[in-house]
Amino acid sequence: MPAPESNMERLPMNENPAGAHHGNAPQGFPPQNNTLGPMSQGPPQLPPQMFTTAAQLLDLTDKKLVLVLRDGRKLIGVLRSWDQFANLVLQDTIERLYAGNLYADIPRGIFLVRGENVLLLGEIDLDKEDDIPPHIQRASFQEVFELKKKEDGARKVGDKKRHGKLQTLGFEPEHSGEILF
Amino acid sequence: MLFFSFFKTLTNQTVTIELKNDIRIRGTLKSVDQYLNIKLDDVDVLDLDKYPHLSSVKNMFIRGSVVRYVMLPRSEVDIGLLEDATRREAANQAGKAR
């Protein structure tokens, strides 16, 4: 197994990387006490503070990120602050709407996002940032918004039909009660 | 904490993650935490045409609550050991409950 590398090694080992988030390290989980027993001999044991939400988000701080929310929104901004629940603060945020082969940007500003709404957080490769796939065209907000409304409506109708059918067969539709795009 | 430990043994392996919204992402597992939030490096989104917003993303943090499956390299999983660990964990839990 290769030794852990990259950002992980630059984490401060002796102090909590999160500073104030001291309670974040999993309690009652000393690094040597791996419940998998013998398997723990394989990979090197990393200090437990590397396996915390805080350590994961520390690497992404002050980077330009795309944040995908549970309602399907895509926000692009700079991550400035966060906590152990993945509550996030984004600065200079734009919202990017996608519909069909079109997209539009809306300047938004500062976002404070509650962690439960986060789907994923991707670091944007600044070299590839402008390589938007060739079939995707920039368009006006109005145009994209109207198209998106139409698409969302069509999807809602389709979902409703599918859920109805599933329910008559005795299935509970997946992630019902929770919006996920 | 069994699966937390298990995933920790899989760091630096290539895994494919399927999210609850059907996006599938392949990448190197860099880190996992107690909520099974996952950090992936060198990501490769399958069916990228459908998810243009992920085209310039190189590494990502995925919230554990939106993961449906994690597909693992078969050769890196010691099934026997995992079974043992699961039984031991279950026995511990039963011991605690009493």
ipTM of the complex: 0.85
Q: Which of A52-56, A93-97, B79-83 has the weakest average pLDDT?
A: A52-56
Q: Least CB-CB distance to A36: which of B9, B63, B65?
A: B9
**Average pLDDT, stretch A129-157?**
88
Burial of A117 (0-12, 13-18, 19+ CB in 10 A): middle
Q: Which of A7-16, A37-46, A88-97, B51-60 has the weakest average pLDDT?
A: A7-16
Q: Who has greater pLDDT, A174 or A129?
A: A129
Distance from the Cα of residue A62 to its chain's centroid: 15
Query: CA of A90 to nearest chain B CA: how many angstroms apart?
Result: 15
Q: What is the pLDDT of residues A67-114, one digit of tens each?
A: 999 888 999 999 999 998 889 999 999 999 999 889 999 999 999 999
Q: What's residue B97's pLDDT? A: 79
Identify the structural domains of chain A with CATH numbers, from first to last.
53-168 (2.30.30.100)
Q: For chain A, what percent of residues have pLDDT higher than 70?
A: 69
* Average pLDDT in chain B: 92
Q: Who has greater pLDDT, A14 or A104?
A: A104
Contact A132 B52 (CB under 8 A): yes
Tokens 């999807």 found at: A155
Tokens 């709407």 found at: A97
Rounded to an integer, what distance in angstroms lies between the CA atom of residue B34 and that of residue B1? Answer: 7
Q: Which of A21-25, A106-110, B17-21 has the weakest average pLDDT?
A: A21-25
pLDDT at A173 over 50: yes
Q: Who has greater pLDDT, A85 or A5?
A: A85
**Average pLDDT, stretch B67-78?**
93
pLDDT at A18 over 50: no
Q: Residue window 20-39, chain A: list those with CB within 8 Å of chain B.
A: 26, 29, 34-39
Q: What is the pLDDT of residues B25-50, one digit of tens each?
A: 999 999 999 999 999 999 999 988 88
Residue B30: CB partners within 8 Å, gap ≥ 6?
A6, A8, B11, B12, B39, B40, B41, B59
Identify the structural domains of chain B with CATH numbers, from first to last.
1-97 (2.30.30.100)
Bridge-partner residues for B41, per DSSP? B28
Bridge-partner residues for A69, per DSSP? A118
Token reading at A35: 């419940």
Q: Which residues of B touch A38 (CB under 8 A)?
A: 81
pLDDT at B88 over 70: yes
Rounded to an integer, what distance in angstroms lies between the CA atom of residue A35 and that of residue A175? Answer: 32
- Backbone dihedral region for residue A109 (phi beyond 0: left; psi -120 to 50: alpha; all else: beta): left
Query: CA of B14 to nearest chain A CA: how many angstroms apart?
Result: 12
* Average pLDDT in chain A: 77
Q: What's residue A3's pLDDT? A: 46
Q: 3-state secondary structure string, B2-59? A: HHHHHHHHCCCCEEEEEECCCCEEEEEEEEECCCCCEEEEEEEEECHHHCHHHCCEEE
Tokens 């603060």 found at: A89
Neighbours of A82 (CB within 10 A): 25
Rounded to an integer, what distance in angstroms lies between the CA atom of residue A3 and that of residue A77? Answer: 32
Q: What's residue A21's pLDDT? A: 43
Q: Which residues of A touch B12 (CB under 8 A)?
A: 1-2, 4, 43
Query: CA of B54 to nearest chain A CA: how many angstroms apart?
Result: 8
Q: What's residue A172's pLDDT? A: 81
Contact B82 A36 (CB under 8 A): yes
pLDDT at A34 over 60: no
Bridge-partner residues for B28, per DSSP? B14, B41
